[in-house]
């Protein structure tokens, strides 16, 4: 595409309205990173995030794992924090505090070990009117607590989402899915049938391990932990593409996995993400990553003559269709 | 103070090369590795199969790294049992560090194990021509750390305060700080320094004189939070530049877990700290009031 002279380009529109929520840009603080307190969410919003997601919130106090819980190299991060949380009293206090100023949409991420527990925390938080809920069915910590992920099983997904929906009325509900299934598209459709308004994909992959050579011990205290960071991005792209195809592009996706730059964010959007979660990369690019990624998106869009970010969402699929290819597949080579 | 080292975020185990018993409850481990750590930075110390905690670096001379610790926590009690040759995992260095200008005057205030990182500051700062008043405080004589090392530094004056008066000033080290600041306000050293600068660079000297009480003096402190709370007030009242090392629960050490975020600023003390200027400290409302645990729950001091 020819370079459009800068002066002729209207201001880049990074904003979108999805499920009745206005997002000033597509960047979202991913759950589990930084987001324990109102002060944190506000600081992330001040740094330009389009939305912030809380760390997973339980119906009761939940203890995490001993350290080391987070380790990384330039290629990957492993974490086995174990989803610690002080319980609903603290969650209500912090969300209430944040909603007074409400500088960016707040997505309340909730977790439990049964449909009842999910319903209980949803019930405790719904009156505070977070902009959306995100139902965590996919943390690897479920492997420790119950031997399997909820997000592996369509029936369990439906049961939990149904019970949460009863508590939150019309508040939009995202469901966070695991890449560790052979059929993420089908799971996503099951979630939508059960009342999910949007999909967050993906949670960490694995789990993985790292061993200290001299002591011959696993480094993580919990031995195994979810893998994120740069290595996760290609898996996230594939999962987002499959979800987008399965849901025919009708369901907003928060794409999460290995996003470090504006170009990473655009790639996830081409696969089908409307919004893009940022987590692990904060450790490398710092708090300014949200504004930096937005600027990088703008620069690329300026160069390519794109003036509305919505045009990017799912456009890989449109390109395939234009070329007469029905969808992503491994059969075309 | 220009070298910025690369963080290592994956622990590697090293064999303890030397152990020194400082006091009944304090030991210093020497490791045969340099992390390029600067005074005030911390390292995550891992005991395989047990736990991992952040610790201030007591010394990193480019060849070896020393860590000084009390046997107060679950992990440090276990570390206390180790012998030479045992394996300890280390990763880092993380966080901000103390900074000074050449030929500055520094007042270092150390409470308890804060003496270790403050000694690291003093050792490096005197190499830059700084003069140092080093104020150490402890409950009693038997809890004082690093006295011989401090006495061995050039251009450094040691001041001691003990709660029980067993040695030095009977009372708090913050009282010694107040006395030093009072003396400094009228000291010839300050005027000499300002006149030297004014000859060297008139504009710079003007900026310095008008900016604050005395930009040639900085106060650095490390120790219990209630001690630092007092120092924060003392320095703010007198308009003296002050930097202190704050402590909060940490998991990752590099800005991801969010456990060390302070209210209401939302900054992470592992990346925006642990060494923080008093201007920022003054707007940390939880400072000296409460801190949060591994679950994010508040606990009052």
Q: What is the pLDDT of residues A125-174, one digit of tens each?
A: 999 999 999 999 999 999 999 999 999 999 999 999 999 999 999 999 99
**Nearest Cβ partner for A71 among B10, B48, B51:** B10
Q: Is A60 an interface residue toward B (CB < 8 Å)?
A: no
Number of structural domains chain B divides into: 3
- Cβ of A71 within 8 Å of Cβ of B9? The answer is yes
User: b/e string for B141-164 if b means 16 or more Cβ within 10 A?
Assistant: eebbbbbeebeebeebebbbbbee
Chain B: nearest CA to A99, how far in angstroms?
Answer: 14
Residues of chain A with pLDDT > 90, as a percent, come to 94
Same domain, B66 and B175: no
**Nearest Cβ partner for A67 among B9, B52, B254:** B52
Report pLDDT digits (tens) over A45-54. Answer: 999 999 999 9
Is the pLDDT higher at A2 or at B160?
B160
Give which of B266, B270, B271, B289 to mutate to test A binding, by max A Cβ within 10 Å. Answer: B266
- Cβ of A90 within 8 Å of Cβ of B251? The answer is no
Tell me the backbone φ, ψ of residue A286, rounded to 5 degrees.
80, -175
| Residue B191: both structure tokens together | 């005027």
Q: How many residues does chain B have?
A: 301
Judging contacts by C-beta atoms under 8 Å, the chain B residues touching residue A212 are 11-13, 48, 89
Q: Best-predicted range by mean pLDDT among A95-99, A299-303, B214-218? A: A95-99
Last residue of a domain, one of B53, B74, B94: B94
- H helices of B186-271, in order, are 188-200, 202-211, 225-238
Three-state DSSP class for B230? helix
- Cβ of A71 within 8 Å of Cβ of B11? The answer is yes
**Per-residue pLDDT averaged across A236-255, rounded?**
98
- Are A81 and A93 in contact by the 8 Å Cβ rule? The answer is no
- Cβ of B266 within 8 Å of Cβ of A212? The answer is no
pLDDT of amino acid B189:
52
CA distance B105 to A170: 63
Give which of B47, B90, B261 to mutate to test A binding, by max A Cβ within 10 Å. Answer: B261
Give which of B12, B47, B52, B291 to mutate to test A binding, by max A Cβ within 10 Å. Answer: B52
Is the model's pLDDT at B5 over the cut of 80?
no
Chain A: nearest CA to B247, how far in angstroms?
Answer: 17
**Per-residue pLDDT averaged across B49-57, rounded?**
96
Same domain, B241 and B119: yes
- Cβ of B264 within 8 Å of Cβ of A39? The answer is yes
Has residue B48 been placed in a domain? yes
CA distance B183 to B186: 6
**Per-residue pLDDT averaged across B245-251, rounded?**
96
Going from the C-alpha of B59 to that of each of B24, B55, B94, B146, the distances in angstroms are 21, 12, 14, 12
| Residue A44: both structure tokens together | 């992330």
Q: Is A280 an interface residue toward B (CB < 8 Å)?
A: yes
| Residue A295: both structure tokens together | 């600027």
Same domain, B184 and B294: no
Do β-strands A27-29 and A51-53 pair in parallel, antiparallel, or remain unpaired?
parallel
Same domain, B89 and B220: no
- Cβ of B49 within 8 Å of Cβ of A37? The answer is no
Which residues of B, range 26-85, sit inside 8 Å of A by Cβ? 44, 46, 48-53
Same domain, B202 and B125: yes
Same domain, B241 and B116: yes
| Confidence label for A19 from pLDDT (cuts 50, 70 and 90) | very high
Has residue B219 been placed in a domain? yes
Q: Is B7 an interface residue toward A (CB < 8 Å)?
A: no
What is the CB-side half-sphere exposure of residue A282 using CA atoms within 13 A? 30
Is the model's pLDDT at B200 over the cut of 60?
no
| Residue A25: both structure tokens together | 């840009």
Q: Is A279 an interface residue toward B (CB < 8 Å)?
A: yes
Has residue B100 been placed in a domain? no
Is the pLDDT higher at B180 or at B186?
B180
Same domain, B196 and B265: no
- H helices of chain A, in order, are 38-46, 88-101, 115-125, 141-146, 154-168, 184-193, 233-246, 262-271, 282-285, 289-304, 315-322
**Nearest Cβ partner for B46 among A68, A77, A210:** A68
CA distance B120 to B59: 5
Q: Is B295 an interface residue toward A (CB < 8 Å)?
A: yes
- Cβ of B266 within 8 Å of Cβ of A84? The answer is no
Residue B181 is inside which H or E element, if any?
Answer: helix B173-185
Report pLDDT digits (tens) over B104-136. Answer: 999 999 998 899 999 999 999 999 999 999 999
Is the model's pLDDT at A187 over the cut of 90?
yes
Note if the bond before A207 is cis, omega within 30 degrees. Answer: yes
Looking up residue B68, the CATH number of its domain turns out to be 2.40.30.10
| Confidence label for B170 from pLDDT (cuts 50, 70 and 90) | very high
Three-state DSSP class for B190? helix
Do β-strands B156-162 and B131-138 pair in parallel, antiparallel, or remain unpaired?
parallel
pLDDT of amino acid A333:
59
- Are A87 and A60 in contact by the 8 Å Cβ rule? The answer is yes
Containing structural domain, residue B279: 248-301
Give the mean pLDDT of chain B.
Answer: 90
| Confidence label for B216 from pLDDT (cuts 50, 70 and 90) | confident
Is the model's pLDDT at A55 over the cut of 70?
yes
- Cβ of A66 within 8 Å of Cβ of B51? The answer is yes
Is the model's pLDDT at B250 over the cut of 90?
yes
Q: Under the phi-then-psi rule, with left for phi > 0, alpha for psi from -120 to 50, and beta for the rest, what region is B266?
A: left
CA distance B5 to B8: 9
Q: How many residues does chain A have?
A: 333
Three-state DSSP class for A82? coil
Other C-beta atoms closer than 10 Å to the C-beta of A154 total: 18
- Are B148 and B142 in contact by the 8 Å Cβ rule? The answer is no
- Cβ of A34 within 8 Å of Cβ of B295? The answer is no
Do β-strands B26-31 and B18-23 pair in parallel, antiparallel, or remain unpaired?
antiparallel
Give the mean pLDDT of chain A.
Answer: 95
Has residue B26 been placed in a domain? yes
pLDDT of amino acid A332:
63
| Residue A232: both structure tokens together | 């996760």
Judging contacts by C-beta atoms under 8 Å, the chain B residues touching residue A287 are 255
Has residue B99 been placed in a domain? no
Give which of B6, B292, B294 to mutate to test A binding, by max A Cβ within 10 Å. Answer: B294
Residue B222 is inside which H or E element, if any?
Answer: strand B217-222
Judging contacts by C-beta atoms under 8 Å, the chain A residues touching residue B294 are 63-64, 84
DSSP per-residue letters across B110-145: EEGGGHHHHHHHHHHHHHTT-EEEEEEEESSGGG--
Has residue B198 been placed in a domain? yes
Same domain, B24 and B123: no
Same domain, B80 and B136: no
Residue in A310, A276, A274, A280 with CA at minimum distance from that of residue A293? A276
Neighbouring residues of B2: CB distance < 8 A, sequence distance ≥ 6:
none
Same domain, B20 and B79: yes
Report ipTM (2 d.p.): 0.92
Q: What is the largest CA-CA distance in chain B?
A: 61
**Per-residue pLDDT averaged across B51-80, rounded?**
95
Judging contacts by C-beta atoms under 8 Å, the chain A residues touching residue B44 are 67-68
**Per-residue pLDDT averaged across A37-65, rounded?**
97
Has residue B175 been placed in a domain? yes
Judging contacts by C-beta atoms under 8 Å, the chain B residues touching residue A63 are 294-295
Report pLDDT digits (tens) over B279-299. Answer: 999 999 999 999 999 999 999
Chain A: nearest CA to B115, how far in angstroms?
Answer: 26
Has residue B177 been placed in a domain? yes
Looking up residue B225, the CATH number of its domain turns out to be 3.40.50.80
Three-state DSSP class for B189? helix
Judging contacts by C-beta atoms under 8 Å, the chain A residues touching residue B49 are 215, 217
Last residue of a domain, one of B28, B62, B94: B94
- Are B178 and B234 in contact by the 8 Å Cβ rule? The answer is yes
Domains of chain A: 6-322 (3.20.20.70)
Last residue of a domain, one of B42, B70, B94: B94
What is the CB-side half-sphere exposure of residue A73 using CA atoms within 13 A? 6
The chain A residue lying nearest B262, using CA atoms, is A39
Three-state DSSP class for A84? coil
CA distance B116 to B49: 27
Is the model's pLDDT at A5 over the cut of 70?
no
Judging contacts by C-beta atoms under 8 Å, the chain A residues touching residue B271 are 286
Same domain, B140 and B213: yes
- Are A253 and A274 in contact by the 8 Å Cβ rule? The answer is yes
Residue B151 is inside which H or E element, if any?
Answer: helix B147-151
Other C-beta atoms closer than 10 Å to the C-beta of A20 total: 11
pLDDT of amino acid A56:
98
Report pLDDT digits (tens) over A73-120. Answer: 999 999 999 999 999 999 999 999 999 999 999 999 999 999 999 999
Residue B79 is inside which H or E element, if any?
Answer: helix B74-80
Report pLDDT digits (tens) over A123-137. Answer: 999 999 999 999 999
**Nearest Cβ partner for A212 among B13, B265, B267:** B13
DSSP state of A171: S
Same domain, B160 and B199: yes
């Amino acid at each position: 595409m020819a370079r459009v002279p800068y002066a002729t380009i209207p201001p880049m529109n990074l904003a979108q309205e999805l499920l009745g929520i206005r997002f000033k840009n597509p960047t979202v603080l991913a759950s589990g990173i930084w987001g324990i307190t109102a002060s944190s969410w506000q600081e992330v919003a001040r740094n330009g995030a389009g939305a912030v997601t809380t760390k997973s919130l339980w119906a009761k106090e939940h203890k995490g794992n001993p350290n080391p819980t987070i380790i990384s190299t330039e290629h990957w991060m492993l974490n086995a924090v174990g989803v610690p949380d002080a319980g609903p009293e603290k969650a209500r206090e912090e969300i209430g505090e944040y909603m007074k100023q409400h500088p960016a949409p707040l997505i309340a991420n909730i977790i439990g070990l049964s449909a009842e527990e999910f319903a209980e925390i949803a019930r405790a938080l719904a009156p505070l009117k977070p902009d959306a809920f995100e139902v965590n069915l996919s943390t690897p910590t479920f492997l420790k607590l119950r031997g399997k992920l909820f997000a592996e099983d369509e029936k369990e997904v439906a049961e939990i989402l149904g019970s949460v929906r009863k508590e939150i009325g019309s508040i939009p509900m995202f469901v966070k899915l695991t890449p560790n299934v052979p059929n993420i598209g089908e799971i996503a459709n099951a979630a939508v049938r059960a009342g999910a308004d949007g999909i967050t994909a993906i949670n960490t992959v694995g789990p993985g391990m790292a061993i200290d050579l001299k002591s011959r011990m696993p480094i993580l205290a919990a031995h195994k932990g979810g893998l994120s960071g740069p290595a996760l991005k290609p898996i996230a792209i594939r999962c987002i593409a499959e979800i987008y195809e399965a849901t025919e592009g009708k369901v907003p996706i928060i794409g999460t996995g290995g996003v470090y730059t504006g170009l990473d964010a655009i790639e996830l959007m081409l696969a089908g993400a409307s919004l893009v979660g940022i987590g692990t990369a904060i450790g490398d690019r710092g708090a300014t990553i949200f504004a930096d990624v937005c600027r990088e998106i703008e620069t690329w869009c300026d160069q390519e003559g794109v003036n509305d970010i919505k045009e990017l969402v799912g456009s890989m699929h449109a390109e395939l269709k234009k070329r007469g290819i029905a969808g992503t597949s491994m059969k075309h080579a | 103070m220009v070298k910025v080292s690369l963080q290592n975020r994956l622990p590697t185990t090293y064999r303890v090369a030397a152990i020194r018993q400082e006091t009944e409850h304090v030991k210093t481990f020497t490791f045969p590795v340099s992390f390029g750590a600067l005074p005030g930075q911390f390292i995550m110390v891992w005991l395989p199969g047990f736990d991992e905690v952040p610790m201030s670096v007591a010394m990193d001379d480019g060849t070896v790294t020393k860590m000084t610790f009390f046997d107060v926590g679950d992990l440090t009690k276990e570390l206390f049992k180790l012998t030479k040759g045992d394996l300890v995992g280390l990763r880092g260095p993380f966080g901000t560090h103390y900074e000074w200008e050449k030929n500055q005057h520094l007042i270092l205030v150390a409470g308890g194990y804060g003496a270790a990182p403050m000694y690291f500051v003093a050792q490096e700062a005197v190499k830059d021509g700084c003069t140092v008043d080093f104020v150490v405080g402890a409950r009693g004589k038997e809890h004082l750390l690093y006295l011989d090392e401090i006495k061995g530094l050039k251009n450094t004056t040691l001041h001691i305060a003990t709660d029980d008066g067993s040695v030095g000033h009977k009372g708090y080290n913050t009282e010694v700080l107040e006395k030093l600041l009072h003396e400094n306000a009228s000291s010839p050293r300050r005027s000499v320094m300002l006149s030297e600068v004014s000859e060297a660079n008139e504009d710079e000297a003007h900026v310095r004189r008008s900016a604050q009480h005395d930009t040639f003096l900085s106060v650095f402190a490390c120790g219990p939070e209630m001690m630092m709370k007092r120092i924060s007030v003392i320095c703010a009242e007198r308009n003296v530049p002050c930097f202190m090392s704050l402590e909060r629960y940490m998991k990752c050490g590099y800005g991801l877990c969010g456990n060390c975020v302070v209210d209401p600023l939302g900054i992470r003390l592992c990346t925006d700290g642990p060494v923080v200027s008093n201007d920022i400290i003054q707007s940390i409302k939880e400072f000296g009031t409460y801190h949060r645990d591994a679950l994010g729950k508040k606990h009052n001091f």
